Amino acid sequence: MKQDFDRLVLPGGESTVQGKLLDELGMLEELRARIAKGMPVLGTCAGLILLAHDLAAHDDKGTPRLATMDVLVERNAYGRQLGSFRTKGQVAGIDGEVPLTFIRAPRIVEVHGDAKALAKVDGRIVAARQGNQLGVTFHPELDEDTRLHELLLQM
């Protein structure tokens, strides 16, 4: 990988396709190494799935992923597209409520190791941090609030 960058956003989308492309393009190992060396990374929705060390048993089909964050994630935990919704909530490290937009969102079933939950909605973990890694089940890029992205830039 010849590109020079010091932060990474892994966007929402289709995690299976993203993982396969990262593998086919030979990018997985380089990105894992950069994350291990401390490069800040934000994984949103599918990006979180790529970061997750563990997937729920019914979701884990052996698709390539980075697997660098100590979280267990379940895909599509809120159902189909019609289960998408918006709300607001508290995110540790950010003052005030943050808009949260969920689209076919995964959920963080549990955090372990060095990972810490940062936010919950209805008792479900929707944001976590492990050192230089932020993982969220929602789409902060769909709202005008930039504080979560600013948190990444401060890392």
Where in the sequence numbering do the catalytic residues fall?
45, 139, 141
**What are the backbone angles phi and psi of residue 62, rounded to the nearest 5°?**
75, 15
- Report how far apart, in Å, the C-alpha atoms of 140 and of each of 32, 102, 143 are: 23, 9, 6
SS3 state at 107:
strand
**What are the backbone angles phi and psi of residue 105, rounded to the nearest 5°?**
-75, 145
Residue pair 109/90 in contact (Cβ under 8 Å)? The answer is: no
E-assigned strands of 2-152? 8-10, 41-44, 52-55, 69-74, 85-90, 97-102, 107-111, 116-121, 124-130, 133-136
